[in-house]
Copies of this chain bind each other. A is one copy, B any other.
């Protein structure tokens, strides 16, 4: 029954977001999905995984048939009442009582719980978790910046009619205000160059860094299911080259920031990888440089 509820609420989410992200109806579905995911996972056994990532421990939910993706034990804090407090704090626009660490744990737990449910319920389905995660992140981003995003941009065409190009989430806060380009992915892997390519496209159409690129990702973990080992797949040298030769991304936010990417903060070219929770405090100070 819980399974049917989760998949049904996910379908509702896809319908509701068409009318706007930060709305009471969406808040309710996100709340329900979190609470149903916790109900689904509570009776399921946890299996410790072997971590090949320094300083991080992982487990997975596992039933007789399969195991979920790896979950960072240090970030997983399943407590529904925290979400109720956070939701109220969002509504009154005051997160003062929440540290960045607490926000990190809350958002990570909410996102990964839904993903773990789908991992156990469905086979080879990447789309459901990817789509959920997009709306989940965009919901918080929309609340924070206070405007609803667009999903397409107008392209000037001097020869014929202007055309619309589908994009990631685009936030235009108005004249002389910051503008954001928000791609959202559960992981980047061998497709990470697409983050920079989409930024380059916006730079070309609207001017360099007119829209600041602030992608949000979940994690870069990969589990070897036979060995029960978890690694983080990172290509920091490639990222450095993309940042030098394709376009500049202002930030790359993660719910579970990979260790190797956080090291990039220390070297030229500037490439700042951070927990997404920090966006909530720094967003209004971000500007094209």
Contacts and interface: CB of A to CB of B under 8 A. Distances in A.
> How many protomers of this protein does the assembly include?
2
A134 to B, nearest CB: 14
Q: Would you call the interface of chain A mostly helix, strand, loop, or mixed?
A: helix
Interface stretch (A21-29, A100-108, A173-181, A236-244): A236-244
A246 B204 contact: yes
A18 interface: no
Contacts of A124: 124
Nearest to A197: B197
Nearest to A237: B163
Interface stretch (A2-10, A61-69, A76-84, A188-196): A188-196
B200 A245 contact: yes
A201 B246 contact: yes
A91 interface: no
- Looking at A124, A163, A197, A237, which has the most chain B CB atoms within 10 Å of its CB? A197
A244 B204 contact: yes
Interface string A49-60: 000000000000
Q: Please tell me the size bucket of the interface on A.
A: 20 to 34
A89 interface: no
- Looking at A124, A196, A245, which has the most chain B CB atoms within 10 Å of its CB? A245
A44 interface: no
Contacts of A244: 204
Interface of A: 124, 155, 159, 163, 165-166, 191, 193-194, 196-198, 200-201, 203-205, 237-238, 241-242, 244-246, 267-268
15 contacts: A124-B124, A155-B241, A159-B267, A166-B238, A191-B191, A193-B194, A193-B198, A194-B194, A194-B197, A196-B197, A197-B200, A197-B246, A201-B241, A201-B245, A203-B245
